[in-house]
Structure 1
Amino acid sequence: MSSSMFRSFSVFNYRVWFIGALVSNIGAWMQSTAQSWVVLTELTDNDPGAMGITMALQFGPPLLLVSVTGWVADRFDRRRLLMITQGAMLLLAIALGVLLLTGVMTLPMMYGFALALGVATAFDNPARQAFVSDIVERENASNAIALNAASFNGARMIGPAVAGIMIVAIGTGWVFIANAFTFLAMAIALLLIRPAELIPRASAPGRSRIAEGFRYVSHRPDLLVVFAMVFLMGAFGMNFPIFASTMALEFGQQADGFGLLSSILAIGSLAGALLAARRDRARIRVVIIATLGFGLASALSVLMPSYWAYAATLVLVGFSVVTTLTTANGYVQTTTDPAVRGRVMALYVAVIMGGTPVGAPIVGWIAGQFGPRMAILVGAAAGFAAFLIGATWMLASGRVHRHETRRFGLSLGHTRPVSIIAPEPVEFSDEAAGTTPIPLTRA
């Protein structure tokens, strides 16, 4: 089934996009690893609380600016918008590198850069995620989004390990400079993409208002459930920089050991993304089951007595979290009216990333006061809570029923088109419109 797994590569624009994104994502993971290590070991005395504040500042803007960024992604040329956001993040990476190399970086300055990166990311992510639907036809959207996830997590296998080695060998500043160069790959890809071959974007009179994204989601109970689950995961479960760095220190490891943990996590993440690429469509029940898997894997990791035993459990953690997010992303994208897709995806990004300002400081404080294992348990509890929300909704909505040949089956009622104007709720089948998606890049 490998031919179907990579079917989106038959599209020239997607091949160019994929290669550019892969190189760019490697740099993004390098910078993310270096930034966490700088805050934890150079700007503070192993203070996970400061890491939590840094993450809150970086991931807060997507939540605060969600109405504006979603509207911009729907209103303007996404390709040109991405050129602007990528250029802004390139300049920030150079500035960070120079300040670190000259020895003048301080914690307040890092907080300021984290906020600036968050603003750029707030505009970049909705445009980036919706742009995938501009590159490939709807029937290949699931595959394209899942391959994007594979690119993101393949880069995660490489970037943190390379960053860890560079930090030990030549210092953190050069990692940021190296990341700046990787932005050139995305810039070249955006220039090479053939605008004439992009999918025409849907538009409709009276649907340009920012509030329509909120109204649309409010009439989709299935999307509200998905958003609730990914919020819990994003706020408390996905604080991996805090979890991995503090656990690395507990096991007596340095920056290279921290980077390796992130790369091992990516092994499971890549497997989850490739498995998603094989599916024909994104199903909400997969999201629900994966949140349970995340809770179980995280709880198991807390019990591990050694560095390598803990690292092994991260493969399961990575697999479950990427299955959750990739499937949730694909379900949201492919069951959403194209006229408001950018605004809805901005909401989706805000829900995931916007949860971090809520959860990261709390998780960082818990790690500092009670140790990293207790902080990871909080993340596991968030996974279990997300599962309970999804499972309760599935039962209440009548999607689980007795089946003649199977013990339980899912009710797959007929779907009907969604109107973002009509005030009444709409019903969506679990199989609605089909596909699967991309985790957050350059976050």
Structure 2
Amino acid sequence: MSAAERPIAPSSTSAVAVEGPEGAATAAATLDRSVSAESTAGRRFRTFDSLIEVPAFRWYLLSMMGNWSAQQMQNVVRGLLAYQLTDSFAALGGVALANAVPRLFLALVGGVLADRASRRRVLQVGQCASAIITAAIAVLIFTDRLRVEHLYAAAVLQGIAMSFSMPARQAMIPEIVGEERLTNAIGLNASGMNTMRLLAPATAGFMVAIFGFGIVYALMAALFTLAVVGMFRVPANPTAQSASATSPVLRKRRGAGTRGGIKDMQEGFRYLGRNRILLMLLSVHLFVVVLSLTFQRLAPGFVSEVLASNDDQAAWRLGVILTVMGGGALIGSLAIASIPNRGRGRLLIGSIAVFGIALLGFAISQNYWVSIGIVFILGLGQAGRQSLSQILIQSHTENEYRGRVSSIMMMEMGCESFGTFAISLVAVAFGAQVAFGGVAVALLLLALIVAVFLPAYRRLD
């Protein structure tokens, strides 16, 4: 059996020989987490274990709540602003595409950096950049100088920032909480994101209708700044990684420079080629992401065209729809945080199917109130799809490769924007309902193909 196919030992319970006080502290912390995990193993309900047992994770999640609230507001406001400036689905897709291109070319660089440097510091730099870019857009709005070209430029710059921050953000969770709490922590992480998806879109929609776009952009800049400040309470090198952070191999890698970075990229692809389960997970994830994230990117245009009669109505109705979807996603992600570590492959396939069925219903419906009920189910499917994909991919990745594997996931999310742009052109030619219906059918076919032809995927725990 190859090294890539062997089960990965939990990093938080592994015996690591590190001399000196730092090594002793690491060993003590590792033992504490191991004992704590054993003491909670018999509990029936374990939904909030990571928050209760790991203080660093509490600060991480609090910081990310600020980050997510700004991002969820931006999902509503940027698309709505682009659509109102141009009255075009193509502009919606174009802004998404502008955000994706840097991620395709720079995500691997960000992944290597996340494996070579402090992941917390890398994340904070990206958050600072997002705050500055968002504040600049606010100034342009207040001075009445904003053009759609500025939104394209901001999307590109934020895509660059995300290329570095997202791999670090995703790779931080296992090193903060350890392997034994990974399912629980990622479920709680998704719950935090979905809580903001529940609150932020409606807040943004109502604020746009009452105060205008400038105030909302200023608020988003403030939230990104708060995220940076909160992240200072998370250790720069969390305990789960501190032993490996002092190893000669990692010290050599961190000082290897550009040539070493290129070698690290090559090692990451070789690792992926050896790990057949991980390659299968990432391949399916690519198709699911390209199809499923289209809904959020094109929802502003869909609501304006199908479910609203004017711009103000479109703003608050879009906020309500995304909020209800966030409510479904919150419940779904809390459920994921509570489940045991088994049967997750089958559950992921089911989540994809649920999302596809709900999206098909949303595409057919022309009634606003019916659509609200449908998007709740859509949120349940989205939460299962997002959380379980990340859990399974991180569970089958060794810690030293997590930054690079996370960057590959991010590149796949960049490919989603190309899909969004293509589907936006379909919406221009045939209407939003036809475009969304086609995506839904494709998702259902994908779930069927995976269930029938990939038995190894079904058996994943």
With normalisation by structure 1, the TM-score equals 0.85
Out of 257, 276, 298, the residue aligned to residue 359 of structure 2 is 298
Deviations 1:289-342 (A, max 9, x none): 221222111112222230110121111111112201210101111111111111
CA distance in structure 1 between the partners assigned to 2:448 and 2:285 by the alignment: 13
Match of 2:283 in 1: 228
Whether contact under 8 Å (2:278, 2:397) holds in the other structure is no
Matched residue count: 398
Whether contact under 8 Å (2:354, 2:381) holds in the other structure is yes
CA distance in structure 2 between the partners assigned to 1:60 and 1:389 by the alignment: 29
Match of 1:391 in 2: 451
What secondary structure sits across from 1:209 in the alignment?
helix
What secondary structure sits across from 1:23 in the alignment?
helix
Deviations 1:105-133 (A, max 9, x none): 11222111111111101111000010112
CA distance in structure 1 between the partners assigned to 2:278 and 2:110 by the alignment: 19
What secondary structure sits across from 1:254 in the alignment?
helix
Long gaps (5+) in structure 2: 1-42, 254-262
Whether contact under 8 Å (1:49, 1:368) holds in the other structure is yes
Match of 2:299 in 1: 244
Match of 2:410 in 1: 349
CA apart distance, 1:34: 0.8
CA distance in structure 1 between the partners assigned to 2:301 and 2:444 by the alignment: 23
CA apart distance, 1:254: 2.1
**1:333-372 correspondence to structure 2 within 5 Å:** 333-351=394-412, 353-372=413-432
CA distance in structure 1 between the partners assigned to 2:170 and 2:315 by the alignment: 31
Deviations 1:73-129 (A, max 9, x none): 101111111121111111001001111121111122211111111110111100001
Match of 2:39 in 1: none
- Answer with 53-62 or 116-125: which moved more: 53-62
1:54 aligns with 2:95: yes
Match of 1:5 in 2: 47
Counterpart AA for 1:321:
Q
CA apart distance, 1:60: 2.5
Match of 2:321 in 1: 261
CA distance in structure 1 between the partners assigned to 2:102 and 2:212 by the alignment: 29
What secondary structure sits across from 1:163 in the alignment?
helix
Report which of the two has the higher share of helix: 2
CA apart distance, 1:279: 1.8
Match of 1:79 in 2: 120
Match of 2:110 in 1: 69
Match of 2:23 in 1: none
Counterpart AA for 2:211:
I
CA apart distance, 1:2: 7.9
Deviations 1:220-262 (A, max 9, x none): 3322332232222222321224442233222223211111111
CA distance in structure 2 between the partners assigned to 1:247 and 1:170 by the alignment: 23
CA distance in structure 1 between the partners assigned to 2:112 and 2:237 by the alignment: 23
**1:167-316 correspondence to structure 2 within 5 Å:** 167-195=208-236, 198-200=239-241, 202=244, 204=249, 209-249=264-304, 250-252=306-308, 253-281=313-341, 283-316=344-377
Whether contact under 8 Å (1:48, 1:242) holds in the other structure is no
1:44 aligns with 2:44: no
Match of 1:161 in 2: 202
Change (3 A) 1:15 1:2: farther
Deviations 1:410-437 (A, max 9, x none): 5xxxxxxxxxxxxxxxxxxx23xxxxxx
Deviations 1:398-421 (A, max 9, x none): x77xxxxxxxxx5xxxxxxxxxxx
1:30 aligns with 2:73: yes
Match of 1:324 in 2: 385
CA distance in structure 2 between the partners assigned to 1:26 and 1:2 by the alignment: 32
Whether contact under 8 Å (2:48, 2:184) holds in the other structure is yes
Counterpart AA for 2:384:
T
CA distance in structure 1 between the partners assigned to 2:183 and 2:226 by the alignment: 24
Match of 1:131 in 2: 172
What secondary structure sits across from 2:122 in the alignment?
helix
CA distance in structure 1 between the partners assigned to 2:145 and 2:265 by the alignment: 42
Match of 2:439 in 1: 379
Deviations 1:199-221 (A, max 9, x none): 22546579862112222222233
Max Rg structure: 2
What secondary structure sits across from 1:4 in the alignment?
coil
CA RMSD, 1 decimal: 2.0
What secondary structure sits across from 1:245 in the alignment?
helix
Match of 1:424 in 2: none
Change (3 A) 1:233 1:184: same
Whether contact under 8 Å (1:237, 1:378) holds in the other structure is no
**1:92-171 correspondence to structure 2 within 5 Å:** 92-171=133-212
Deviations 1:2-59 (A, max 9, x none): 8510000121111111122113211221122110110001x202x1111001101112
Counterpart AA for 1:82:
L
Counterpart AA for 1:233:
V
CA distance in structure 2 between the partners assigned to 1:389 and 1:61 by the alignment: 31
Percent sequence identity over aligned pairs: 27
Change (3 A) 1:337 1:197: closer
CA apart distance, 1:198: 2.9
Whether contact under 8 Å (1:238, 1:379) holds in the other structure is no
Change (3 A) 1:229 1:197: closer
CA apart distance, 1:275: 0.9
CA distance in structure 1 between the partners assigned to 2:286 and 2:439 by the alignment: 12
CA apart distance, 1:195: 4.5
Whether contact under 8 Å (1:264, 1:315) holds in the other structure is yes
Out of 10, 21, 28, the residue aligned to residue 64 of structure 2 is 21
Deviations 1:167-215 (A, max 9, x none): 1111111111101111232222221224575322546579862112222
CA distance in structure 2 between the partners assigned to 1:121 and 1:389 by the alignment: 32
